[in-house]
A = this chain, B = another copy of it.
Amino acid sequence: MIFLTRRATFSASHYYWNDTWPAEKNQQVFGRCANRNGHGHNYTLEVTVAGEPDAVTGFVVDLKWLKDVIDREVMAAYDHRHLNLEVPEFASINPTTENIAIAAWRRLQPAVTAAGGARLSRVRVYETPDIFAEYRGEA
């Protein structure tokens, strides 16, 4: 079994806010991230698939295909976007690094599974070089 990873980056805006809380509590819990004008990051997404290298090509998956999947399923929706305002899965939950990792997994898994051969193994999202979240799927 080989774990093959491709990294991609996207630039997006976000904020953290809970509508059921008064503004003061949002400020207290989310600090500067509660600024409703939004702030942004250069996110790095690492997508890992697991499988056996093909005997002829030596590929677990074709990395150009994997790049296309990442572009179509994640980059097209997240890059140069305001995550809270333009990405459906963050309409009602905060686009934290944790939740972005889960959401990117859910966007990628159907395409990886449909292709057969390799399975999605891990999605890691860096909000900054010093903060990252990793999701490996349910159980």
Determine whether the beta carbon of A29 is less than 8 Å from that of B2. no
| CB <8 Å contact, B42 and A96 | no
**Complex copy number for this chain:** 6
User: In the complex, which residues 111-139 of chain A have their Cβ closer than 8 Å to any Cβ of chain B?
Assistant: 128-136, 139
Are B7 and A29 in contact, with the CB atoms below 8 A? no
Q: Using A58-B93, A131-B6, A133-B3 as known contacts, say yes or no to A39 and B40 having CB atoms under 8 A apart.
A: yes
With known contacts A31-B64, A37-B13, A96-B53, A42–B128 Cβ distance under 8 A: yes
Number of interface residues of A (CB under 8 A): 63
A60 interface residue (CB < 8 Å to B): yes
Chain B residue, CB-CB nearest to A133: B4
Chain A residues within 8 Å of B, Cβ to Cβ: 1-9, 11-14, 16, 18, 20, 29-33, 35, 37-42, 53, 55-60, 62-64, 79-82, 85-86, 93-99, 101-102, 128-136, 139
